[in-house]
Amino acid sequence: MVATAEQTAEQAAPAAGRSLWADARRRFFRNRAALLGFVILVFVTAFALFGGALAQWSGEELDYAVMGQVAELGGPSLATGHYFGTDDLGRDLYARTVQGTQISLAVGVIGALIACVVGTLYGATAGYFGGRTDSVMMRLVDIFMAVPYMFILILLLVMYGRSITILFIGVGLISWMEMARIVRGQTLSLKGREFVEAARATGVSAPVIIARHIVPNLLGVIAVYATLLVPLMILTESFISFLGLGVQEPMTSLGALISEGAGTIAYGTTWQLGFPLLFFCLTLFGFFFVGDGLRDALDPKDR
Amino acid sequence: MTAPLLSVRDLRVTFPISRAGDMPWTPPRLLHAVNGVSFDLPHGETLGIVGESGCGKSSLARGLIRMVPSSGKVLWNGDTDLLGLSPRAMLKVRAQIQMVFQDPLASLNPRMTLGQIIGEPLRTHRPDFSAKNRRQAVAAMMERVGLLPQMINRYPHEFSGGQCQRIGIARALVIKPRLLICDEPVSALDVSIQAQVIDLLKDLQREMGLTMIFIAHDLSVVKTISDRVMVLYLGRMMEMAPKHALYADPQHPYTQALLSAVPIPDPVAERAKRVIPVEGDLPSPLAPPSGCVFRTRCPRAAPACAKEIPQAGDEAHRVACLFPGPVRAAERA
């Protein structure tokens, strides 16, 4: 029996291992920029979820006191209860910014989630089976990618009416392809590794190998890419909303609010652009910083 | 006499190689990684397989258990041809044939704990085991290979190379296989650790009545553990004999050259040693020489060698050479 000295020094109780995830978490929280991004994201999320509780007006009622004189009376003020001022019609901008942040975050997160699930399964399957299956599946992705998606998305919104569901579907449809490509590439390099071969030699079936050996080793890449995908989804949604095709009134999104704010900037109501833009930028910065931090934390070799 | 555990006849592993720029209808070139190898492996014996890089050692092992497409006959227990089995029937046999790999760390999934890694074969082949049973079996196996059972929740990257190889061995043996295929299990380890791992393998073999195929490029390692040794060159068997016969009295010029190159851990003897030179490079396995594949580098090559493929007989000491015999004086450098 050969047991090294350090082993014998251990206690008899099963020692908890330090997983690669625990290591990554430690590295992530030591990274200042990533931590800042994380704090920003927590703040923005808390604002979207609980900010409504602080609002004194709902986003849908009109404040008749300021109507018609928005530029003079509708500015940000604690006295009137419009912390961020009102919009062009006299609706409370604070409540609307809360709602817009909710919608934008939801679009981003759901889009990224669809991308993760569909893209990972598709890419891992193509990569693992390889050969002809891989060729057919990836050529299909190439063909889809050649389609001008913004055009299709706008067409969908025009055909089926402006609805948040269509927006989710559209964003989900386009977002998974890049992910599938990345995951496939990673799978190709993973499947040649000996631990996959060991599992195959033992007789573990292909779906189980993908689920148990391939995907857990891809999660780092997926997590990084997903956090960078969320802001892209938010940008797409904002662009669509900016064009006036996004969410339907009285619902709103950050993109729609920025569009309205930009339209009235000439009358001196800078807060109508400023506040939505502030939250928009905070969200994007937060996600990008967190994504960068995750990449550094999960792939320490690549720095 | 009972049938050997494994009886291999004319095993071939062939890879189609298509070059970049080939049209889809261009027939791919064929790389014969293993070209007609036959041998018997009796119960409880260890067969050592040696040869230089790219000679088909690993392909041979993988071909046996259908990890790569292969043809020929692989009789298991004298009656079941592994190469003709349905995937479902093959799964049953896989529980009895396990493998240990070369790179100790790469053969362990970095995201799984030891308990999950070693327990995986049980999870695959013994669905009747509860999680608790499985944990007990894993802990017992860990103890057996010299790992403390309380390390069961640790991850592979927390262990040294030697320990990782013990983990790999524990994973292979936890379902009590009958045949263990070791693909260069000690090549990536320090010499002192190599000895420990080899001793461990020998102990386990005695205890569990294992039959083993042991692949290595290090002749002295193979000598310690094997009962018989096979020498491969370019996908063909050159010589196969009980180890004492092979090491003391090699008959094939290639074996003689290999053995003469083994370093001797004694500076005086090492300096006095005469190495038999092997000229040139390994020919491409895509276009192996006609006749005897070793003839391009063989000191004894004659015109007949290009025409006839030498066949090994059925005797105990098998040599695939037209001019076998002990080393001749003229062949020493």
The ranges assigned to domains in chain A are 21-302
Distance from CA of B207 to the nearest CA of A (A): 14
Q: Which of A165-179, A186-200, B85-99, B148-162 has the lowest mean pLDDT?
A: A165-179
Q: Smallest Cβ distance to A17: which of B101, B149, B154?
A: B154
Give pLDDT, residue B203: 94
For residue A184, which of A210, A162, A156, A165 has the smallest C-alpha distance? Answer: A210
Greatest mean pLDDT among A70-79, A205-214, A243-252 lies in A205-214
- For A164-193, what is each residue's pLDDT tens digit? 778 777 777 778 888 899 999 999 988 888
Give pLDDT, residue A13: 63
Which of the four pLDDT bands, split at 50, 70 and 90, describes residue B332?
A: low
pLDDT over 80 (residue A67) = no
- For residue B90, the one-letter residue type is M
Contact assignment for A16 to B153 by CB distance below 8 Å = yes
Distance from CA of B225 to the nearest CA of A (A): 19
pLDDT over 60 (residue B159) = yes
Distance from CA of A7 to the nearest CA of B (A): 7
pLDDT over 50 (residue A268) = yes
- For B182-207, what is each residue's pLDDT tens digit? 999 988 888 889 999 999 999 999 99
Nearest CA in chain B to A217: B111
For residue B144, which of B166, B168, B162 has the smallest C-alpha distance? Answer: B166
pLDDT over 50 (residue A54) = yes
Chain A residue numbers with beta carbons less than 8 Å from the beta carbon of B187 are none
pLDDT over 60 (residue B165) = yes
Buried-exposed string A229-262: b where 16+ CB fall within 10 A, e elsewhere: bbbbbbebbbebbbeebbbeeebbbbbbbbbbbe
pLDDT over 60 (residue A7) = no
Element at B242 (helix H, strand E): strand B236-242
Which of the four pLDDT bands, split at 50, 70 and 90, describes residue A12?
A: low
Interacting residues of B103 by C-beta distance below 8 A, sequence separation 6+: A194, B188
- For A15-38, what is each residue's pLDDT tens digit? 677 777 788 888 888 888 889 999
Which of the four pLDDT bands, split at 50, 70 and 90, describes residue A88?
A: confident
pLDDT-above-70 percentage for chain A? 93
Domain ranges of chain B: 6-17+28-96+177-331, 113-176
- For residue B71, the one-letter residue type is S
ipTM above 0.90, yes or no: no
Give pLDDT, residue A39: 94
For residue B283, which of B291, B273, B268, B293 has the smallest C-alpha distance? Answer: B293
- For B128-152, what is each residue's pLDDT tens digit? 889 999 999 999 999 999 999 988 9
- CATH fold for domain B6-17+28-96+177-331: Rossmann fold (3.40.50)
Which of the four pLDDT bands, split at 50, 70 and 90, describes residue B50?
A: very high
pLDDT over 50 (residue A9) = no
pLDDT over 90 (residue B41) = yes
> Exposed, middle or buried, B54 (CB in 10 Å: 0-12/13-18/19+)?
middle
Which of the four pLDDT bands, split at 50, 70 and 90, describes residue A43?
A: very high
Give pLDDT, residue B117: 94
Nearest CA in chain A to B107: A195
Nearest CA in chain A to B120: A199
Which of the four pLDDT bands, split at 50, 70 and 90, describes residue B333?
A: low
pLDDT over 90 (residue A256) = no
For residue A289, which of A60, A39, A22 has the smallest C-alpha distance? Answer: A39
Q: Tell me the residues of B at the A interface, defined by beta carbons under 8 Å apart.
A: 65, 67, 90-91, 94-95, 98-99, 101-103, 106-114, 120-121, 124-125, 146-155, 157-158, 163, 168, 171, 196, 200
Percent helix, percent strand, percent coil in chain B, to nearest 5: 35, 20, 45
3-state SS assignment for residue A247? coil
- For A216-244, what is each residue's pLDDT tens digit? 888 888 888 888 888 888 888 888 887 87
> Exposed, middle or buried, B267 (CB in 10 Å: 0-12/13-18/19+)?
exposed
Give pLDDT, residue B122: 93
Indicate the class that CATH gives domain A21-302. Answer: mainly alpha
How many beta-carbon pairs below 8 A join chains A and B?
Answer: 97
pLDDT-above-90 percentage for chain B? 44
Which of the four pLDDT bands, split at 50, 70 and 90, describes residue A3?
A: very low
User: How does the average pLDDT of chain B come out, rounded?
Assistant: 88
